[in-house]
Each structure stands twice: as structure tokens, then as C-alpha cells.
């Protein structure tokens, strides 16, 4: 087995896998088509009022929070907390049922669960820390690198003519299937036909908060919204910024023009959160996620590995439930598995 390990995808799953291998001294290259690492740990820089002053801050528009129940991930999160990168946010989230026009309102119902964590400088800062932690060798990350496919020959896998000791695809299954030879995709049980739920994130800022304290809310039986978060409460800086996740069907109808969903989404927020007409925001924006959540999980496996081709796949679809922690665990466990596989050669 010669050549580097090529990790395609710099979301938290790919970074977790690359981190294990790099820390063990292996030659690893991470290839990602994005400008910045993080995948769905995405944030956008906006100007917002904080403590009476206009400041530039990052609003989380992808993943909403993360849990830390796996022992290995909990150890990493404890380090992030110690260094001020992560904070315990809440262990309960409000629940709103129905539509605002039907009288649905933010009430006292809460859904209890594990502690949800947030990042004080936005979730993407955690991805940046995995790339270049202060006490370890940084990952070799090639940004804006769009991989056209993975070839498999008698000597193993290769990407764009570069022979690899192994290739890891850290991405949603449909994207992985598009890059793989059909037989390899079949053995790994990934398919381009598997549907994923889309989501449009709408985020907006006001000069002051007009909503009661709620932190975050799941919205049930509403064709417009499924989730709303107070980003200032989540981040701990009190900025009057809300992030709303649009329902799958409504999101799918607006993937070509996500801005078009903003007015209806904003109109729903005021009645749901405070029983008022939504005040006009200082700014409002939208971002589309074509592959936001898998409809099917590989519930009986934490990652996929094809010994014959030396290709692995990982991500939040590998595990019982799609979430940030699942994605990290998937990549971390695949990295540990690869250490054993590559040591044989």
C-alpha cells in the first residue's frame, strides 16, 4: 500500500477521520470543494447589535447544536469547553404544534434531552480547530478542490491519477455513490437514489429582541417551519438574531431561489413566538441545503469499509440518528479502523 490516505470532504466526519490518521503519523490529504472547512457546520458573518454596539459575528445556519454522549467525543468537547470554544447551551427545547394562523403559540411545553452544546464563535470554529489544533500537527487541507471521481485499479484506489493507500469519502451517500464505481458503491450500500431531506435556513436580525426567552423550539405540524433558534441565546452574546429551518416540502419548492421563502418564513415567526405581527428585520437572508438530512440511516454500522477497493465512507448517515456527534463518531471510528488496516501493509 503506497501513497497518501485521501479524505474527500472536510465536514466534521472527514476532519475527525483525518485527525486520527494524521496524529498517528500517516500521510493524509483532505480534499474539499468548499472555500472553508466544516460542511454543515456552516456560519455566515453578519453585523448585529451586541451590548449596544454593532459588531461582526457569525450566525450558525447549518447544524443547530451538538450533543456529546460518546466518551471519545465528550473528551474532545471538554477540551473545547476548557479553551472557551464550546458552551453548554440547554437540555430542553420548546415545542410548538400547528400553524400560527390556527392559534399555535410558544407555550410551556419543553422536550427534555441531553445537553445541547453550542460554539461561542460559531460551529465552524470547531472544524477549524480540528484542522489546526494548537498542540498538534495541522491537517493538509486542499480547499476548492472538486474531485470528479474515484478510480479503482489493480494497485488500489486513486483520485485524479494519484494512487492512494486508501480513500475516504466523507459526504452524503448520494454524493459518494456519484464518485464511485458502481460495484464499489453496491458493496458499500450507498446509492444515488437514496433521498435526503432538503432544508432552507432563513436567518434575520433586529435592533432588539421582540420575542420572549425560549432558546430554541421544534415546530410540529407546520408546513412552513420545523425549527427556530435564538442565535444570541445559543451563542451567549445576546444578539437579536433568529435562525429558522424551513419544512422539507417548502424547502424543496424553493431550492432554486431560497430567498423567495424568506417573507413567508418571517411572517410565521411573530405569531408563533409572541402572538404579534413579525416586526420588520434589519436584514434577512437564506441559504439552501439540498442534502440536509438522510431519510435512511445505516443504523447497524458506524462507517462503511470495502476491503477489496480500500475505500471507506463515513458521515451522519452512519449510526442510529443523523446529528453532529454521529458524524464525528463515524469519521473517528473509520480513522481508527484504517490504522489497523494500513498497519498490515
Supply the CATH number for residue 340's domain: 3.50.50.60
Of the pLDDT bands very low, low, confident and very high (cuts 50, 70, 90), residue 1 is low
Same domain, 240 and 286: yes
Same domain, 206 and 261: yes
Same domain, 78 and 201: yes
Same domain, 26 and 15: yes
Q: Residues 290-320: pLDDT tens digits?
A: 999 999 999 999 999 999 999 999 999 999 9
Count the domains in the chain: 2
Same domain, 80 and 203: yes
- Enclosing domain of residue 219: 43-122+195-295
Grid cell, residue 208, equals 432588539
Alpha helices in the chain (DSSP H): 12-23, 71-82, 124-131, 173-179, 182-188, 231-235, 248-252, 262-274, 324-343
Cell 460542511 belongs to residue: 39
Same domain, 79 and 216: yes
Which is more confidently placed, 216 or 97?
A: 216
Three-class SS state of 33: coil
Q: Please tell me the predicted confidence (pLDDT) of residue 109.
A: 84
Same domain, 200 and 266: yes
Q: CA 321, CA 325: separation in Å to the nearest integer?
A: 9
Question: Is pLDDT at 345 greater than 60 in this prediction?
Answer: no
Amino acid at each position: 500500500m503506497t501513497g497518501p490516505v485521501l479524505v474527500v470532504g472536510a465536514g466534521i466526519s472527514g476532519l475527525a477521520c483525518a485527525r486520527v490518521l494524521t496524529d498517528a503519523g500517516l500521510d493524509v490529504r483532505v480534499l474539499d470543494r468548499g472555500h472553508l472547512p466544516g460542511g454543515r457546520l456552516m456560519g455566515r458573518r453578519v453585523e448585529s447589535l451586541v451590548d449596544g454596539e454593532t459588531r461582526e459575528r457569525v450566525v450558525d445556519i447549518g447544524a443547530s447544536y451538538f450533543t456529546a454522549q460518546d466518551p471519545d467525543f465528550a473528551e474532545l468537547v471538554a477540551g473545547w469547553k476548557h479553551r472557551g470554544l464550546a458552551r453548554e447551551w440547554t437540555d430542553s427545547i420548546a415545542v410548538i404544534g400547528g400553524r400560527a394562523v390556527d392559534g399555535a403559540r410558544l407555550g410551556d411545553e419543553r422536550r427534555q434531552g441531553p445537553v445541547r452544546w453550542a460554539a461561542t464563535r460559531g460551529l465552524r470554529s470547531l472544524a477549524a480547530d480540528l484542522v489546526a489544533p494548537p498542540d498538534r500537527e495541522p491537517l493538509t487541507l486542499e480547499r476548492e478542490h472538486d474531485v470528479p471521481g474515484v478510480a479503482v485499479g489493480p494497485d488500489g484506489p486513486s483520485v485524479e491519477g494519484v494512487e492512494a493507500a486508501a480513500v475516504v469519502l466523507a459526504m452524503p451517500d448520494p454524493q459518494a455513490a456519484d464518485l464511485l464505481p458502481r460495484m464499489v458503491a453496491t458493496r458499500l450500500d450507498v446509492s444515488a437514489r437514496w433521498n435526503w431531506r432538503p432544508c432552507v435556513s432563513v436567518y434575520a436580525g433586529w435592533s432588539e429582541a421582540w420575542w420572549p426567552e425560549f432558546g430554541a423550539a421544534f415546530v410540529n405540524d407546520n408546513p412552513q417551519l420545523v425549527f427556530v433558534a435564538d442565535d444570541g441565546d445559543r451563542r451567549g452574546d445576546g444578539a437579536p438574531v433568529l435562525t429558522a429551518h424551513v419544512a422539507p416540502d417548502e424547502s424543496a419548492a424553493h431550492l432554486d431561489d431560497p430567498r423567495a421563502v424568506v417573507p413567508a418564513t418571517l411572517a410565521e415567526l411573530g405569531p408563533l413566538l409572541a402572538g404579534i405581527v413579525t416586526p420588520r428585520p434589519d436584514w434577512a437572508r437564506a441559504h439552501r441545503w439540498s442534502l440536509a438530512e438522510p431519510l435512511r440511516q445505516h443504523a447497524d454500522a458506524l462507517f462503511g469499509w470495502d476491503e477489496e477497493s480500500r475505500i471507506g465512507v463515513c458521515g451522519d448517515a452512519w449510526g442510529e440518528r443523523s446529528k453532529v456527534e454521529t458524524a464525528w463518531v463515524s469519521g473517528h471510528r473509520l480513522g481508527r479502523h484504517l490504522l489497523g488496516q494500513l498497519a498490515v501493509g
